[in-house]
Structure 1
Amino acid sequence: MSNPLKLSDLDIGVSEGEILCSLTDIDDGGAKELSYRSGSDIHDIFIQRVGNDIYAYVNICPHAGTPLNMDDGKFMEKTGKYLMCHTHGALFQLEDGFCVAGPCNGASLRPVDIKCEGNNIIAC
């Protein structure tokens, strides 16, 4: 598993403890995409919600380097058990981003260091 990305370590204007969004901004089973820019660098992440649990990853497939989703806020495959790269169909465990099927089998998505406090999703 790769080291979690700390948004506060990037030159994008996000501080540790900053509220990224509210839990209620994300439908249960849905995701919210966030994009940050610093000069020519682009940092795209997504936060996936399942009930009151949240998972955040950098939105890049380790195989193709493309975003996982093709539609806004759609990162899960149809059963809702795995995150899916819509380019090549790779499946990733929601809890740790580990690829269990597809061309990047054994690789992992890069997690983003966040936490939920009350109803707020916060950068760590």
Structure 2
Amino acid sequence: MIQNLTPAAADWNAIPGIGEQQPRAFAYRLKGDRGDRPHRIAAWRGEPGTYRRDGGMPWSETFVVYKGKGRITVGDDVIDLFPGAIVDLPVGKPYVMEIVETVEKMAVITEAEKA
């Protein structure tokens, strides 16, 4: 089955900011049957600004940028964000994402294993 995964403008949901200076970001949860699999696919859109995750995220994420420009700094690594860029973020790894042109990305998120 072929499915158009691009969300309509009205389907994006605003994500609460991490701090008062946080730029606006949006997510769209794609519909699907995960069953017991610990993975999900999500679309994300971030407006220009700086997104700082000092504690990383509680999941790992591999994403492909399909619109926009920016950069992400993970430790000593700086990765340019542009259509076609693929980034792998390990669970809990701090990062800073600087967006200069609204970025849209498609991500595969892997939930962290519960102890």
- TM-score > 0.5 by shorter chain: no
User: Which TM-score applies when normalising by structure 2?
Assistant: 0.31
User: Which TM-score applies when normalising by structure 1?
Assistant: 0.30
Specify which structure has the higher proportion of strand: 2
